[in-house]
Amino acid sequence: MNDSKKPKIIAIYGKGGIGKSSTASNVAAACADEGYKVMIIGCDPKSDSSITLLGGKRIPTILDLIRKGVDITEDDVVFEGYNGVKCVEVGGPEPGIGCAGRGIIVAIQKLKKISKVQDECDLVIYDVPGDIVCGGFVAPIRKGLVSEAYVLTSGEYMPLYAANNICRGLSKINTPLSGVICNARNVSREEEIVGKFAEEIGSDLIAFIPKEQIVQDCERDGFSVMEKAPDSEIAQVYRNLARAIMSRNKSVMANALEDERLRELTR
């Protein structure tokens, strides 16, 4: 389906808890509905990125199997979820022990070695933890796997602050930004604020996802909106976002704002 032979490989960054995994899984499902071959690679040690694509089930993670000393094959770690979406979870150590960052590096190298699924896809989404606290958490980008980065934020100050920092980080490692997505939290002038932020850093606001209870309801049941409530308005928003991402070919080196300007923006 994709015109170019190379898959579109994206990562969605943003403050922890802002809705990256929800957005990623709904975009994955929406793209699959459009007929694209899609893969989602969860890089959070909590391994919850693909859970709503698998009917609430958990899959064995790459690091679980590495730890057990299993001679891993593709079938052990790549699982098919909703509408053929390939799901992988990197996994990681228990909180407070070992090194999750190193875990991501080891796991994505392993995956690259044992599976060519990524190359056969139209869209690959790396779902990365929000706080890029060390080198491992940007490994998908650093290792040249990710070609497009998106930033997800609400119109609240702290998520914007985090988004701005992420933009600074992306520029530092020479990774262009492909767009800003607003996952609304129902704060005042939200679309305007995030739109302005996107403009000032040199990018675009490519979607505004309103806050809808239905997203939560579907997640609680272990499903994406696309699967459980395909006729809802919010499903259409995700569909539009999916199309926007698939057709997007503009990316810029983001110009992070000064703290002062960022505060002004949210006032």
Partner 1 sequence: MEKDKKEISIIHPRPSSIVAALYTLRDLNVDVAILHGPPGCSFKHARLLEEDGIHVVTTSLDENGFVFGGHDELVALLGKVTEMFNPKLIGIVGTCVSMIIGEELHDAVLEANPDVPVIEVEVHAGYRNNTKGVLFALESALDSGIITEKEFDRQKILLEEATMVEKRHGAASKEYLAPSRGDVKYKVAQRIIELLKEGKRGITIMNAKKETGYMFADITVAVNEIAKQLGVESNIVNMANIDDTLGLPRVRHHAKCIMDDFKERGIKIHHIIGGMDEYPIAGDIAGKLIEEKYSDYDFVVITGVPHAIPMESISGMEIVSVTNGPRQVLPMKEMGHDHVIVEIDLHPKTLGVNNIVESEFGATLREVAKEE
Sites of contact with partner 1 (CB under 8 A) = 63, 66-67, 92-93, 97-100, 102-103, 106
> Catalytic pick from 48, 76, 131, 204?
131
The residue among 118, 85, 150, 128 whose CA lies nearest residue 7 is: 118
CB 198 within 8 A of CB 153: no
Which tokens sit at 105? 């590096």
Q: Which of the following is catalytic: 46, 110, 196, 211?
A: 46
CB of 92 to partner 1, least distance (A): 7
Q: How far is the CB of 134 from partner 1 (least distance, A)?
A: 10
Tokens standing for residue 267: 């006032």
Residue 17 vs 95, nearer CB to partner 1: 95
In angstroms, how far is CA 218 from the centroid of its own chain?
Answer: 18
d(CA 17, CA 21): 9
Whether 6 is a known active-site residue: answer no
The least distance separating partner 1 from the CB of residue 97, rounded to whole angstroms, comes to 4
Q: How far apart are CA 85 and CA 214, in angstroms?
A: 22
143 among known catalytic residues: no
The bridge status of strand 79-80 relative to strand 205-209 is unpaired
Q: Which of 233, 166, 210 is nearest to 19 (CA)?
A: 210
- In degrees, rounded to 5, the angle at the alpha carbon of residue 85 between the alpha carbons of residues 82 and 86 is 125
What is the token pair recorded at 147? 């070609």
Q: Which is closer to partner 1, CB of 81 or CB of 140?
A: 140
Q: Report how far residue 79's alpha carbon sits from residue 209's, in angstroms, rounded to the nearest whole number.
A: 28
Q: Which is nearer to partner 1, 100 or 194 (CB)?
A: 100
**Nearer CB in complex with partner 1: 63/215:** 63
- Is 228 marked active-site? no
Rank residues 102 and 243 by Cβ distance to partner 1 and give the closer one: 102
- As measured in angstroms, the least distance from the Cβ of 139 to partner 1 is 13
The angle subtended at Cα 206 by Cα 134 and Cα 188, nearest 5°, is 90
Residue carrying the six token digits 């996802």: 209
Q: Can 20 be counted among the known catalytic residues?
A: yes
CB of 94 to partner 1, least distance (A): 8
Which residue among 20, 37, 86, 228 is the active-site one?
20
Task: Tell me which residues are annotated as active site.
Answer: 15, 20, 46, 131
